[in-house]
Chains A and B, each alone.
Chain A
């Protein structure tokens, strides 16, 4: 599944509209402990987290995640979104908690 196909069906805010969504999606990873996410995440997963600081961009880039979803209306700084845009990492905001966000992705076929 491609990221643009998935997010066309979701009512989530695209916080990095200039970043291409032509990416493969192969699963979901949920986590806020960065070492845990680094150690266990897999390439092309959608990463759902409530962390909104700069270090999530490095983790997503190094781990080759398909995108980052900031769940539960957690805050994210503009400088982080600028960095995400520079690095070509899509960031979405979900108003749902982590579990419901992941559940919705499963319902959409991820």
Chain B
């Protein structure tokens, strides 16, 4: 598979004011190139949740998007730490380590990672104290 479109976005820690900006750009761009609306909605959910994770839980990070020549779309969220202690726990619906500030804004439902996995066709998560990388793949139909 060759990447035909590549985009990179940087997301800063605690930047609540711009939360969702990268996801909105990605969604708009994919809409312009004619990605199926159903797939687009799944990507929007996964992208937003992952972007929020970079803001709430990580010391910021990057989003890399690739559209491959077979039409599949890959999103990679790579942060700078502090890593997830227990991935299995973090994947449990309702489990959250979000701060009071984040919770007061309606985040921290403990549905982020479960939502991301549910809407993705392929989901991979790797974490160490140096950082967490989530790799998602979307195909035209699920």
B45: contacting residue among A32, A33, A51, A62, CB under 8 A: A62
Are B23 and A62 in contact, CB atoms less than 8 angstroms apart? yes
Are B20 and A55 in contact, CB atoms less than 8 angstroms apart? yes
Chain B, interface SS category:
helix
CB distance from B111 to the nearest CB of A (A): 4
Which residues from chain A contact B105 at a C-beta distance below 8 Å? 34, 51, 53, 55
Which residues from chain B contact A43 at a C-beta distance below 8 Å? 41
Are B111 and A36 in contact, CB atoms less than 8 angstroms apart? yes
Are A35 and B23 in contact, CB atoms less than 8 angstroms apart? no
Known contacts A62-B44, A64-B41; is A39 also within 8 Å of B19 by CB?
A: no
What is the count of residue pairs linking A and B with beta-carbon distances less than 8 angstroms? Answer: 67
Complex Cα–Cα for A33 and B107 (A): 6
Are A35 and B24 in contact, CB atoms less than 8 angstroms apart? no
Known contacts A34-B109, A39-B118, A55-B106; is A61 also within 8 Å of B16 by CB?
A: no
B27: contacting residue among A34, A57, A62, CB under 8 A: A62
Complex Cα–Cα for A84 and B9 (A): 23
Contact string, B27-64, partner A, CB cutoff 8 A, digits 1/0? 10000000000000100110111001000000000000
**Chain B residue at minimum C-beta to C-beta distance from A55:** B19
**Chain B residue at minimum C-beta to C-beta distance from A41:** B45
Complex Cα–Cα for A63 and B24 (A): 10
Interface assignment of B115: CB less than 8 Å from any CB of chain A: yes
Are B115 and A38 in contact, CB atoms less than 8 angstroms apart? yes
How many residues from A make CB contacts under 8 Å with B? 20
Q: B17, B44, B48, B112 — which one has the most chain A CB atoms within 10 A of its CB?
A: B48
Are A58 and B23 in contact, CB atoms less than 8 angstroms apart? yes
Are B24 and A61 in contact, CB atoms less than 8 angstroms apart? yes
B106: contacting residue among A33, A39, A61, A64, CB under 8 A: A33
List, sorted by A's number, 19 A–B pairs whose CB atoms are closer than 8 Å.
Answer: A34-B107, A35-B49, A35-B112, A35-B115, A53-B105, A53-B106, A55-B16, A55-B19, A58-B20, A58-B24, A61-B20, A62-B23, A62-B24, A62-B44, A62-B45, A62-B47, A63-B41, A63-B44, A64-B41
The 10 closest A-B pairs by CB, nearest first: A58-B20, A33-B109, A35-B111, A39-B115, A35-B109, A62-B44, A34-B106, A51-B106, A36-B109, A32-B106
Besides A39-B111, A62-B20, A62-B47, 6 more A-B contacts (Cβ < 8 Å) are A32-B106, A39-B115, A55-B106, A58-B24, A59-B48, A62-B24
